[in-house]
Amino acid sequence: MKTQLSTFYLGPYFFGLDVKRVQEIIRFHEISPVPLAPPVISGLINLRGDIVTAIDLGLRLEIEEDRVIDKEMQMNVVIRTEENSVSLVVDRVGDIIEVEEGQYEKPPETLKGSAKELIVGTYKLEDRLLLLLDIDKIIQI
């Protein structure tokens, strides 16, 4: 069975999430900071009149040391939740790809920190490793 994943990058790492959960992908928006919010909350964006919380996914996954952030390339991956939408700020987007069930493996035991809880699996592709994220856990801050 094939699964479609929306892909993106954080530093050198290649991530994917179920395309059915992605509402849209938009260029980086101006973010209004939220006083006293946790550091992983970049702030709020106005998405055509809807106020959407923006989460810095690099901070959420604790992989800041491996990133060189280029604000011109950053994108917002807007995902649907049961209550509303949430934006994941990523370094750059990839493509929508199809993966086979046979390519799936459990996440490596070497994962540390919050990445250990937020990465639920991997897909071995021809030229790289794709890390599969658990959206529901990511938005629980």
Domain of 84 in residue numbering reads as: 2-138
As given in the structure block, the two tokens for residue 134 are: 């658990």
pLDDT value, residue 122 = 94
- Below-70 pLDDT ranges, the chain: 65-72
* Residue 141 · residue 37 · CB < 8 Å: no
Q: Report in angstroms the alpha-carbon separations of 101 from 2, 98, 124, 125.
A: 6, 10, 11, 12
Phi/psi of residue 38, nearest 5 degrees: -60, 150
- CATH of residue 10's domain is 2.40.50.180
Q: What integer pLDDT is reported at residue 131 of this predicted model?
A: 94
3-class secondary-structure state, position 102: helix
Look at residue 71 in the predicted model and tell me its pLDDT: 67
**Total of domains in the chain:** 1
Residues in the chain: 141
